[in-house]
Amino acid sequence: MNSTVTGAVAIYLAQVRAELSDLPSGELEDVLEDVSGHLTEVAAEFEAEPTTEALQERLGTPREYAAELRTAAGYPPRTQPVADRDAARKALRWGLVAATAGPFLVAIGIFYWSHDETVFFGVLGFAVLFLAAYLGVRALRDNDPRIVLEDPRGRRGAEAVRGLVDQIPPNVRSELVTIGQPVWWVARGAIGGGGFFALFGAGAVAVVGAVAGAAVSIWIGRRTQQDRRWLWYVVPLNIVAAVAVPAFLSAAYMGASFGFLNDYGDYSSSSSYTPDGLVLNGTPVSNIYPFDAQGKQVSVRLYDQEGNPIALRLEDCEASYGRTDRDSTSNVVPHRVITGDESGNFGEEPNCRDTDKAPFVPPPAPATATPAPTPTGTPSASASSTPTGTTPTPTPAPGTTPRPAVTLTVQPTR
């Protein structure tokens, strides 16, 4: 009966309901059923649908109507102040912001490919969610959270939800509550707690986080049943979980990589990041030009102390424009690299040119080919005969002199 009223009648009815909201809920529904019928009949007295003013002229203000009803029915006088309609409206509005904008941003974060955006949108989304929820609860002030149901908009929403719930067969409904609710509490908590730690790169404690999250989730669920103000936080968080839980499950099942599930060890955000490949003093080595003792460039195969090939990425014409079926790396050096023409232009396929000729001239080979562990000063005859007292400068022999500052690191090339 109540669901059929519209317009001014619905507003008037909602205001009467607010005035009588201190009644026991059963009696409240019964009396409002009568009032709804009354208002419908009164509205039918008018030729067109009555305005709020017309109704008030005929029946008095909703407050007067409710007071008259209360006296005649012998209901106890109202003790608590009538629900602050402004508070209800504001609390409802902030609740809606928390339940829409927050989860929307978090959802963007979840489905984003990269870690940085996931964190950005995730943090932003949760910040919006919690801020709006906080403002919603604050807008309630000391009112009962149920006052939002007295707001016309809140009432319509509640009726819509109730209509949907009524579609579910009663036996399924009770099973959903007894079995579905605890399962949902655990699932949302586990994925929320685990996801939080996984997001910040602490994959190892994600399992602990999942267990802790499930425990917190159950506690929150029980708290919310006692204090309905928690709903301002719990409903938006449930919406987030409703997106995250299926996303997580499908990702885990299909092995798809959503942003928040990626292996963050691969990302440069980690402080211990080291690039793949061969590195000399922190700089990637892209090619190696071996020269023999006579200063002649030679081709060699490189292996490390374990016998693993030291393979470098191929960057010749074939790699850039041609075949893709061969290995992308090779330990035979020097590699051919693409070279520019006289004017410095790099030719496009098929004019691409590459060469394995060193782009530099190696310093002259040392006088002796004997590998000497210590630098050998070779004082020249002119130095000893010069009476100026100049200390003969030892000339380090390139290639044979260890340079302690140099570190050569090899990462397995993928």
Partner 1 sequence: MDTSQLLKGVLDLAVLAVLRDGDGYGYDVLRRLRQAGLEDVADASVYGTLRRLFQAGALTSYVQPSEEGPHRKYYGLNKTGRDLLAQSTKTWNHFADTMSVLLVEKEAA
| 29: contact with partner 1 by CB under 8 A | no
| 66: contact with partner 1 by CB under 8 A | yes
Q: Which is nearer to partner 1, 8 or 110 (CB)?
A: 8
Residues facing residue 313 across a β-bridge: 329
Q: Which residue in the set 35, 187, 239, 319 belongs to the binding site for partner 1 (CB under 8 A)?
A: 35
> How many CB atoms sit inside 10 A of residue 56's CB?
17
Question: Based on the number of CB atoms within 10 Å of its own CB, is 21 exposed (0-12), middle (13-18) or buried (19 or more)?
Answer: buried
Q: Which residue in the set 48, 72, 361, 406 belongs to the binding site for partner 1 (CB under 8 A)?
A: 72
In which residue are the tokens 């602050």 written?
84
| 159: contact with partner 1 by CB under 8 A | no
Q: Which residue in the set 9, 31, 241, 245 belongs to the binding site for partner 1 (CB under 8 A)?
A: 31
Assess whether the previous peptide bond of 334 is cis (omega < 30° from 0).
yes
- Mark the segment that binds partner 1 (CB under 8 A) among 31-39, 120-128, 154-162, 286-294: 31-39
- Mark the segment that binds partner 1 (CB under 8 A) among 30-38, 95-103, 170-178, 276-284: 30-38
Q: What's the count of helices (H) and strands (E) in the chain, helices before strands?
A: 13, 9
Using DSSP, state whether 284 is helix, strand or coil. strand
Tokens of 182: 């605890």
CA distance 322 to 333: 20
Radius of gyration in angstroms for the set of CA atoms belonging to the chain, rounded to a whole number = 39
Q: For residues 299 and 316, is the Cβ–Cβ distance under 8 A?
A: no
Q: Which residue in the set 6, 7, 29, 34 belongs to the binding site for partner 1 (CB under 8 A)?
A: 34
Q: Which residue in the set 29, 49, 60, 163 belongs to the binding site for partner 1 (CB under 8 A)?
A: 60
- Cβ density class 328-342: b for 16+ within 10 Å, e for less: ebbbebbbbbbbeee
Q: Which is nearer to partner 1, 35 or 105 (CB)?
A: 35
Q: Which is nearer to partner 1, 155 or 335 (CB)?
A: 155
Tokens of 369: 């080919």
- In whole angstroms, how close is the CB of 86 to partner 1 at the nearest point? 25
Q: Which residue in the set 40, 61, 287, 395 belongs to the binding site for partner 1 (CB under 8 A)?
A: 40
| 106: contact with partner 1 by CB under 8 A | no
Which residue, among 234, 315, 280, 273, has the nearest Cα to 407 in the 3D structure? 280
- Mark the segment that binds partner 1 (CB under 8 A) among 73-81, 104-112, 126-134, 141-149: 73-81
Q: Which is nearer to partner 1, 36 or 238 (CB)?
A: 36
Binding site for partner 1 (CB under 8 A): 1, 4, 27, 30-31, 33-38, 40-42, 59-60, 64-66, 68-75
